[in-house]
Structure 1
Amino acid sequence: MHTVLTWAILVLLVSTSACGADQASQMLETAQFEERQTNKAHAKELYEDIVRQYPDSPAAKTARARLAELAKP
């Protein structure tokens, strides 16, 4: 149920007409929420999506840092 709700929120965020930087920020917020909910696998996917889709954004810089932290044992 939690995953379905998270995906629904993500779809709503991505489908808004916000500019790319706003979408990247919204995705980052969702990824951070997932990480706080101990859903690290989904957070990692979202961080990777941010880096891939918005590589030059401030959100991508944060996403890269979080990916590095998540990769630590």
Structure 2
Amino acid sequence: MKYFVLILILIFSLTLASCSNKAAEMFETAKFEELQNNKEHAIELYDEIIKKYPESEQAKKAKERLAELRKK
């Protein structure tokens, strides 16, 4: 379990470093929060992406993730 979390943090860090814009960074953070079973924070981040960057590709993906999270 310890190694799993460390690997996730490493992957998250590498992905975040490669993000070119704030919407993408926020989306990656929200996905990470989901992996950490922090559903409430992930939902907040997805909502923020939709509000701040409504025309972005990440907003479209965030809407899909919100629909999935709210089903559970």
Count of residue pairs the alignment pairs up? 55
Q: Which of these two proteins has the greater Rg computed from alpha carbons? A: 2
Contiguous gaps of at least 5 residues in structure 2 = 1-15
Instruction: Return the letter of the residue paired with 2:41.
Output: H
What SS does structure 1 have at the residue aligned with 2:69? helix
What SS does structure 1 have at the residue aligned with 2:55? coil
Which TM-score applies when normalising by structure 1? 0.70
Q: CA RMSD in A?
A: 1.8
| 2:51 maps to 1:56 | no
* Separation of aligned partners in 1, 2:54 and 2:22: 13
Contiguous gaps of at least 5 residues in structure 1 = 1-12
* Separation of aligned partners in 2, 1:63 and 1:38: 17
* Separation of aligned partners in 1, 2:69 and 2:29: 16
Q: Percent identity?
A: 55
Q: Deviations over 1:21-68 (max 9, x none)?
A: 710000000000000000000000000000000000000000000000
User: Structure 1 segments of 4 or more deviating over 2 A?
Assistant: none
1:47: which partner in 2?
46
